[in-house]
Structure formats: structure tokens, C-alpha cells
Amino acid sequence: YDSFKEKDEL
Amino acid sequence: MNIFRLLGDLSHLLAIIILLLKIWRTRSCAGVSGKSQILFALVFTTRYLDLFTNFISMYNSAMKLIYLVCSYATVFLMYFKFKATYDSNHDTFRMEFLVVPVGGLAFLVNHDFTPLEILWTFSIYLEAVAILPQLFMISKTGEAETITSHYLFALGSYRALYIVNWVFRFYTEGFFDLIAIVAGCVQTILYCDFFYLYITKVLKGKQLTLPA
């Protein structure tokens, strides 16, 4: 799970 | 980035600035829960550690920095500069009752068992409940200043707008993050009672007072 790829939300 | 997400971020920013300006202009933090503000500072600190590891965009980094600086400034004003006006007698919610269970849950339910991911999860869960000391304080005193209700309305709207953003993202990108969605819904539900009072009282020009 590459979560930080998707953590563009604040 | 879609319009709901952008409005959510701006609403969040507006809330933070309303609170800072209220404290600065009135030279007083009466009616504001310092416990909630400490919890929000903790939320931002544990969530935005990726500022050092991952660059997403200028917008993303700038907003994270602004949220962090403003939340620490608020805590500083409350506990140092205007400490004499801080209403600690009514701010009696115990922070450990939130931080400890939320920390346990973040260890148990997360996307990935890594330090940064657990801290991110902790911040998402903690944010959902961080407003409780403030709501508890209002229920104790039975009232809130109008400017404080504007702050709470903007702060509550932010997560509600994020929920619309998540629905939008699910249908347009197939993206969803269950941890953020569930916590975001819990967070928004906690504000429902307040939203009702805000719409029925504050928007009609009255002060927010709780029914006896």
C-alpha cells in the first residue's frame, strides 16, 4: 500500500 | 483537486484565521478551549511530518505550513501572551481520554504499520474528536460568543466539504481512503447539533445559547 502517493489531501 | 476540496481547505483556513484574529483583536481567549487547540496542534504536527519526506505541490506545502504556524501561534497566545484571559475553570475535558484511545486505535487500524503511517492515522482519528473539549466547554457555560460560533461553523464545514470531495473523487477517480472517510464522517456528525443551533440562532442575529 503506497499511501503517501495519495496523501495530497490536507 | 476539485471545488469541494478547495472550498474545504479555504473553510479550514478561514476558521483558523477567525480564531487567531478574535484572540488578537480582543486581546482575550475567553470561551476558547485551549485543550482543543493543543489537540489541533498535535493533529497538524503528526500529520504533516511528510513535509520533510514527500513533496506534493507548492499549494500543499504552503497550506501545511500555514496550518502548523497558525495552530502553534494560537496555542502560544492562549497559554502565554493572553494566559490571564484563558478560561481554564471551564476547560476541564481530559485530553488523555482522547489521545490514549485514539493512539491505541491508530496502532490497531491503519493502512500500513510504519511510523509515519501510524502517526498520520493517529492525526486523522484525533482530528475527528479534537473539538470535543471545545463543545464540552460550551455545554458547561451554556453559551458561545458569536465570533466563536463562526469559527466553529467554518471548522465544521471544512470536513463536511471534504466528505463531498470524497464522494466526488470516488466517482471520478475511483479513489477512496476508508480511514479518512469514516473519521471524517464521525467528525462531521459531532458538529451536527452545533450546526442546528448555528442556523436557528446565530444566523438570525442571536447569540448562541443552549436550551436550559
A4, closest residue in chain B (CA to CA)? B54
Q: Distance between alpha carbon B189 and the CA centroid of its chain, in Å?
A: 13
> Tell me, what's the pLDDT at B91?
97
Residues in a beta bridge with B208 = B144
- Answer whether A9 sits within 8 Å of B180, measured CB to CB: yes
Which of B 121-160 lie inside 8 A of A, CB atoms? none
Joined together, the cell numbers standing for residue B181 give 472517510
Model pLDDT for residues B10-43, shown as the tens digit of each residue: 999 999 999 999 999 999 999 999 999 999 999 9
- Chain segment B51-102, per-residue pLDDT in tens: 998 899 999 999 999 999 999 999 999 999 999 999 999 999 999 999 999 9
Measured distance CA(B91)–CA(B31) in Å, rounded: 9
* Confidence label for B211 from pLDDT (cuts 50, 70 and 90): confident
Interface pTM, i.e. ipTM: 0.81
User: What does the alpha-carbon distance between residue B97 and residue B39 come to, in Å, rounded to a whole number?
Assistant: 12
Q: And the C-alpha cell for B56?
A: 506534493
**Closest C-alpha to B82, from B32, B38, B146:** B32
Query: CA B125, CA A8: separation in Å to the nearest integer?
Result: 18
